[in-house]
A and B are shown apart, each in its own frame.
Chain A
Amino acid sequence: MNVRLYIWQRATAAVMAPLVLVHIAVIFYATHQGMTAEDILSRTHGSIAWAAYYGLFVAAAAIHASIGLRNILAEWLPLMERRAGRYAVGFGIFLFALGLRAVAAVVLS
């Protein structure tokens, strides 16, 4: 892993640490008395704060996961680093797009 990717990996980890803690707290809160679509959407619908929180989370997770995947592909499979990088970038874009779609679904719909 080169220095630039290493810094991105660690920076996104640092950004996500508090986000994951909040996410675990929300999971516990939301599942306490059964989770319904109405409960979820009433909390998130039209909320700029949740949109910003989940938007940042999705961006950081897409970067973090794609760098991690690149490292695993390069180390575990007989792939050239460049090819592993291409697959990882594709996965990161895919994850980012799906994540933004999910955020839009719970905030805008």
Chain B
Amino acid sequence: MVHRISGLALAIFLPLHFLALGLAIEGDAKLESFLRWSDQPLVKLAEGGLVFLLTVHLLGGLRVLAIENLPWTNGQKQLATFAAAISAIVAFIFLVRVF
């Protein structure tokens, strides 16, 4: 379920991400203005959430590929918890760096 929710959230976010980058078509200044808007603490916090979602979806996807293509091993549930923990750590490091 975490994999599905994170995928859905990323799919909703992607068009906004592409629209933001597309601002460069209208000139550097337009993109720069958006980036300065994104300096707000709440936006940075949301970016941390996106880093978490991207990492947890990546690790969850690797887990699915491993389950389907490699011999079964015990501890699959622990792997899912491990993926969430790693994602939280990556997002936390991101937030420490941007704040």
Contacts and interface: CB of A to CB of B under 8 A. Distances in A.
Interface of A: 10, 13-14, 16-17, 20-21, 23-24, 27-28, 31-32, 34-38, 40-41, 58, 61, 65, 68-69, 72, 91, 94-95, 98-99, 101-102, 104-106, 109
B25 interface: yes
A105 B7 contact: no
A24 B21 CA distance: 16
B54 A31 contact: no
A68 B9 CA distance: 11
Contacts of B14: 61, 65, 95, 98-99
Contacts of B58: 17, 20-21, 24
A89 to B, nearest CB: 14
Nearest to A71: B4
What is the predominant secondary structure among interface residues of chain B facing chain A?
A: helix
Nearest to B98: A31
A105 B11 contact: no
A34 to B, nearest CB: 8
Contacts of B64: 13
A41 B35 contact: no
Closest 8 pairs between A and B when the two form their complex, measured CB to CB: A102-B21, A37-B32, A98-B18, A105-B24, A37-B31, A102-B18, A65-B11, A105-B25
A109 B24 contact: yes
Contacts of A35: 35, 38
Given A24-B51, A65-B14, A68-B7, 17 more contacts: A13-B64, A16-B61, A20-B54, A21-B58, A24-B90, A28-B94, A36-B32, A37-B35, A40-B31, A68-B11, A72-B8, A91-B11, A95-B14, A98-B14, A101-B22, A102-B22, A106-B24
